[in-house]
Amino acid sequence: MSATRPDIGAIFDEYFDFVWNTLRRLGVRSDDIEDLAHEVFLKLNARLSDYDSSRPLRPWIAGFVFRVAADHRRLARHRFEVYGKTVEFEAPAVPADERLQVEDERSIVREALAALDFDRRAVLVLHDVDEVPVPSIAAELGIPLNTAYSRLRLAREELATAVKRLRRRSEEVCRV
């Protein structure tokens, strides 16, 4: 292995959770995440010789994740997301009412994220959740820097509006 070609096994070990979670946050159905994560690593492996070791690896990988998720979403059979409760294990020491409140908030945020335009959602998730710098996102997605910042700003505004709307709706349901 040359110094410029990282080991795919090491990349897999270090970035698997990042790839999995980013796919999930980009709206990929749970049933499809494993296959798409596999596809991301196959594409990464095929393009390792193109990697510029002077640049950070995480944004480069994020570009692959975005493109795989976007290609998957373009297929007609994947355009509609199916919502359901995601199973997340929590410590039993947390009181039930607190767990319910946290799950309600998560559901609201997931639903609000799903309502965002995919390109805006991708920039928001990559930057605000995965902490990828905006210039790196722009470079890896092949978009102008100002477009990336614009998408981020609009996604934050739309997310805040959607969360407020969904909270109001939830409160109204609880009052009934």
Task: For residue 3, give the 3-state DSSP assignment.
Answer: coil
**Is there a domain that residue 171 lies in?**
yes
Task: Please tell me the distance from the alpha carbon of residue 25 to that of residue 19, in angstroms, as a whole number.
Answer: 10
Residue 99: both structure tokens together: 């767990």
**Is there a domain that residue 89 lies in?**
yes
Instruction: Judge contact between 36 and 68, C-beta under 8 A.
Output: yes
Backbone Cα Rg of the chain: 18
pTM for the whole thing? Answer: 0.70
C-alpha closest to that of 35 among 20, 17, 46: 20
**Is there a domain that residue 77 lies in?**
yes
**Is there a domain that residue 3 lies in?**
no
**Is there a domain that residue 1 lies in?**
no
* Residue 167 Cα distances to 17, 72, 114, angstroms: 30, 30, 15
Q: Per-residue pLDDT tens for 88-140?
A: 555 556 676 677 777 888 888 889 998 899 999 999 999 998 889 999 999 98
Angle at 32 between CA 26 and CA 36, to 5 degrees: 75
* Residue 125 Cα distances to 12, 15, 23, 63, 94, angstroms: 20, 16, 10, 12, 28
> What CATH number did the domain enclosing 145 receive?
1.10.10.10
Domain containing 70 equals 8-175
Q: How many domains does the chain have?
A: 1
**Is there a domain that residue 2 lies in?**
no
Instruction: Name the DSSP letter for residue 127.
Output: I
Q: Per-residue pLDDT tens for 13-34?
A: 999 999 999 999 888 888 899 9
